[in-house]
């Protein structure tokens, strides 16, 4: 049996249409689940950087949620003043703590900053941070950081001990660096070099840096971390982005308040 060209084109178009509707429907239907997974992944990273969850160990979602709820308190900080905002102040600014999306907030409320080595073009007025609770007191703070690597913007968290200076952990949850090179920012062995380092020097300026080559132990080389071999640019990017977010335009005012015991 011979089909006409019209029939073949029509049939192919109909198959394409059905498939397109199916794929689009699936994408829409799965979007809420994807968003939930993303939120859960961030919580997992926060717990890991706080040292409350081991890297690479799979845990059921309910367990991660429970661990997060038991130990972590989300706070909102006004970057310029370093003040922690009250619920009333959040409402005034139209911020819903339960559904806060830092990227969306930055897109809508970003303010341009001077060109900087971290490649951060704009900052928000308010950022969400996390406190690690030990009873009623804060045992560590977790700050969101981001900045340019070689190929991409890298997004992560740094955890600082209650002195506001000693690193407890560093992790990246999103980047587009090359696997095996810049992508080694994810490597647990490299991340293991961070705890115990100091971020601020005696003058209170952020001094932490990823160097080319090997650094000594934290007691000897408190402000330096080994470079990633074959990925000097990504490593340097990590150093610059930390210096940026720990600096005056970032969380320095908040950390100073926190050290004085006034931020929370
Ligand atoms: C395919 C390819 C991928 C690369 N990916 C990265 C990367 O993710 N991060 C990085 O810093 N350098 C990367 N580099 C290397 C840089 O181009 C540059 O040579 C390097 O950062 C210099 O670091 P080194 O002095 O440690 O060799 C890549 C190079 C190639 C050819």
Would 33 be classed as within a structural domain? no
Would 57 be classed as within a structural domain? no
**Phi and psi dihedrals of 219, rounded to 5?**
-70, -30
17-39 burial string, b = 16+ CB within 10 Å, else e?
Answer: eeeeeeeeeeeeeeeeeeeeeee
Q: Whose CA is nearest to atom 27 of ligand 1?
A: 230
Would 203 be classed as within a structural domain? yes
Would 9 be classed as within a structural domain? no
Would 41 be classed as within a structural domain? no
Would 83 be classed as within a structural domain? yes
Q: How far apart are CA 63 and CA 85, in angstroms?
A: 29
Would 45 be classed as within a structural domain? no
Among the atoms of ligand 1, which is closest to the Cα of residue 237?
Answer: 11
Full pLDDT tens readout for the chain, 264 residues? 788 888 889 989 999 899 899 898 888 888 878 878 888 899 999 999 999 998 888 889 999 999 999 999 999 999 999 999 999 999 999 999 988 999 999 999 999 999 999 999 999 999 999 999 998 899 999 999 999 999 999 999 999 999 999 999 999 999 999 999 999 999 999 999 999 999 999 999 999 999 999 999 999 999 999 999 999 999 999 999 999 999 999 999 999 999 988 555
Would 124 be classed as within a structural domain? yes
Among the atoms of ligand 1, which is closest to the Cα of residue 183?
Answer: 8
* Range(s) of the domain holding residue 209: 72-260
Ligand 1 lined by 185 (C-beta under 6 Å): no
Ligand 1 lined by 176 (C-beta under 6 Å): no
User: What would you measure as the largest C-alpha separation in the chain, in angstroms?
Assistant: 87
Q: What is the pLDDT of residue 51?
A: 93
What global pTM score does this model have? 0.88
Domains identified in the chain, total number: 1
Q: What is the mean pLDDT of the chain?
A: 93
């Amino acid at each position: 049996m011979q089909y006409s060209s019209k029939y073949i084109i029509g049939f192919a178009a109909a198959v394409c249409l059905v498939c397109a509707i199916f794929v689009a429907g699936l994408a829409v239907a799965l979007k809420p689940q994807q968003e939930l997974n993303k939120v859960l992944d961030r919580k997992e990273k926060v717990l890991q950087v706080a040292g409350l969850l081991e890297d690479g160990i799979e845990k059921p979602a309910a367990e991660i949620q429970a661990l997060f709820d038991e130990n972590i308190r989300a706070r909102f900080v006004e970057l310029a003043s370093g003040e922690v905002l009250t619920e009333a102040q959040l409402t005034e600014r139209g911020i819903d703590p339960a559904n806060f999306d830092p990227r969306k907030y930055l897109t809508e409320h970003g303010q341009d900053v001077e060109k900087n080595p971290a490649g951060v073009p704009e900052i928000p007025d308010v950022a969400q941070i996390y406190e690690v609770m030990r009873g009623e007191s804060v045992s560590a703070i977790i700050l969101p950081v981001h900045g340019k690597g070689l190929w991409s913007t890298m997004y992560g968290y740094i955890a600082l001990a209650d002195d506001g200076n000693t690193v407890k952990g560093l992790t990246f949850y999103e980047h587009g660096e090359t696997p095996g090179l810049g992508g080694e920012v994810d490597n647990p062995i490299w991340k293991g070099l961070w705890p115990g380092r100091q971020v601020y020097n005696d003058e209170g300026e952020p001094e932490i840096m990823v160097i080319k080559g090997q650094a000594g132990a934290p007691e000897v080389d408190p402000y330096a971390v080994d470079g990633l071999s074959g990925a000097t640019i990504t490593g340097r990017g990590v150093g610059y982005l930390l210096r940026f977010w720990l600096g005056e335009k970032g969380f320095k005012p908040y950390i100073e308040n926190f050290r004085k015991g006034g931020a929370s």
